[in-house]
Structure 1
Amino acid sequence: MASVIPGKALAPKALVAELSRPGPYPVLRGELALVGLPGVVFTPESGAGLPAVAFGHDWLQPAARYLGLLRHLASWGIVAAAPDTQRGPFGSHRALAHDLRTALEVCSGVRLGGTARGAAVSVDPGRLGVAGHGMGAGSAVLAAAVPAADTQVQAVGEPYWEVGRGVAVQAVATVALTDTRPSAVEAARAVHLPGLHLAFGKDLVSPPAAGAELLDTAWAGESSLRTLKKATHLGLLEGRHWSDVLLDGKGENATRTLVRALLTGFLLHRLNGDGRYAAAFDGGVKGTEVRTSEAGHRLED
């Protein structure tokens, strides 16, 4: 686990103001296709022992609709990778979960970037997270429910259990989750990790009561459910895509800004041990409602 970084915790308003802006690090972009997995990866220009997150896309969506989010995370020192797979109408949720773990294995197993004049970036295999939007959020939960190969426990009748790819996930974040096959809600009962779950209050594709609230209730570890009251299902997305006519909502600057700040703060807090950003998990943020719980103990805020 990451060591705790000393410093006074930021108030929620100050946290959002700070983390909604780009971070201090220049950013590089690479292609996961170079190692056989379609997708993109963003890294700070340099750094050693960095945290990393693999981000899953929503149904039908290309990874290109999340580039601003990925770049933002990298600007704050977090390596961010997004597989561009399983984009068809019948994309496999289990396969996308597998690809998220593969992306983490790539990021933590090789040195990224670097030139003759500059050092490559390295990722600490003890600082790995998974996240996603919609279908990708469900796949992120499935990925987190899979134990690493050296810690596998096979349970009869648990279809989401399978041998991991040698990575140990430390934190999970979901955005406007839609349930998957196998069920992410059922898989959550086996995820004993910190989980940040962002629900969108005006989401007609996956209303909070049908997605994130059920997930939060089932979550085995410490959990935070935060509802962005005015956000729609597509609020996080960037640019336009033909699938917009099939889904409710539209891209929203306010939603993208708030999600970037909260997700960045959660990952810095949980993967870097930076207590200054704890309010991303449980603080009262304007325009949202938050419910937090310790493992097995539901608390209301």
Structure 2
Amino acid sequence: MARTRKLFAALTRRGPHQVLRGDLAFAGLPGTVYTPASGFNLPGVAFGHDWLTDVDHYLKTLEHLASWGIVAAAPDTERGLAPSVLNLAFDLGTTLDIITGVRLGPGKISVHPTKLGLAGHGLGGSAAVFAAAGLSGAGATSPKAVAALFPTVTKPPTREPAASLKVPGLVLSSPDDPQSLRTDALDLAGAWKGSVLHVVSKAESAGLAEKRRFAGTLGLPGSDRRTQKTARALLTGFLLFHLTGDKDYKEFADPEAELPKTEVLDPEAPPVTPEEQIVALLR
């Protein structure tokens, strides 16, 4: 456990790689890509954004992944009031095609087609599940790992595609998720065999998005650095294990492991009633 705590602490900070930033628009898709400064056959991940939250609110998260040697790209699509989770899922798949099919940076960066992952926050986390279901068995672009960070309820729901997945998954939730009408993290993890669920202590499910300093004055959820710090560490460790095979990070993919800054759900807690969820929503 002491070794895992040390690794976790390191993963909350920037990694050893210098980072470059690029634009997915060169390949015809609005979005942003962060890469290590150099390296061939690198792991790569496509990252989906939350509802009404453009990619600029995840730049530090993308940069963090790149600093640990993972090419991280995020499409900046489906940003309207009524986005399509299925369209965003399609764009995540397209993003994987782009980063594997094009030599990145100054020609010294490439992504290996068998070291691919999908991840996302909120709406983007649910889109990552749909994208994984659509890409499973699709040859070179089939993901090796998928992460849904504080995923939100969508139409269609994620439960059915999640139940079909054989790819390893990471699901993050916050302690108040059982009272929430917005998230289905617990249901998603329950339907997804092979997924790892972590309840992030004192997390705010919308807090992963960055640069929302004055959001509270508009009645919108704000950023939360504690949530960002913990979620980045858990996500990075999970991806490093599954995409690179680095066994040092094995516990980050172990459903039985107790990781720092996370807590265990009480199996004897009574189920939350719909009335309690509505009251929590109105607080």
1:9-158 superposed matches below 5 A: 11-114=3-106, 119-147=107-135
Would you say the 8 A contact 1:130–1:144 is kept in 2? yes
Shift of 1:207: 6.1
1:156-235 superposed matches below 5 A: 167-203=141-177, 206=180, 211-220=184-193, 222-235=194-207
Q: Secondary structure at the match of 1:278?
A: helix
Q: 1:243 to 1:204 in 2, by over 3 A?
A: farther
Shift of 1:10: 7.1
> What residue in structure 2 maps to residue 264 of structure 1?
236
> What residue in structure 2 maps to residue 237 of structure 1?
209
Q: Secondary structure at the match of 1:192?
A: coil
Q: Residues of 2 paired with 1:68 and 1:258: CA distance?
A: 13
Structure 1 unmatched ranges of 5 or more: 1-8, 152-165, 292-301
Root-mean-square deviation (CA), in Å? 2.2
- The aligned amino acid for 1:236 is L
Deviations 1:220-256 (A, max 9, x none): 3x11100013111221111028876354x42111111
Q: Residues of 2 paired with 1:205 and 1:48: CA distance?
A: 45
Q: More helix by proportion, 1 or 2?
A: 2
Shift of 1:149: 7.5
- Structure 2 length-normalised TM: 0.86
Q: Secondary structure at the match of 1:25?
A: coil
- The aligned amino acid for 1:259 is A
Q: Residues of 1 paired with 2:225 and 2:213: CA distance?
A: 17
Q: Residues of 2 paired with 1:132 and 1:53: CA distance?
A: 10
Deviations 1:252-283 (A, max 9, x none): 11111111111110000000001101222233
Q: 1:133 to 1:84 in 2, by over 3 A?
A: same
Q: Residues of 1 paired with 2:131 and 2:214: CA distance?
A: 28
Q: 1:200 to 1:207 in 2, by over 3 A?
A: farther
- The aligned amino acid for 2:185 is A
Shift of 1:190: 1.0
Deviations 1:115-165 (A, max 9, x none): xxxx420100001000000000000000000136856xxxxxxxxxxxxxx
Q: Residues of 2 paired with 1:83 and 1:65: CA distance?
A: 12
- Structure 1 length-normalised TM: 0.81
Structure 2 unmatched ranges of 5 or more: 266-283
Q: Residues of 2 paired with 1:288 and 1:253: CA distance?
A: 15
Q: 1:20 to 1:109 in 2, by over 3 A?
A: same
Q: Which moved more, 1:104-113 or 1:180-189?
A: 180-189
Shift of 1:286: 3.2
Q: 1:229 to 1:140 in 2, by over 3 A?
A: same
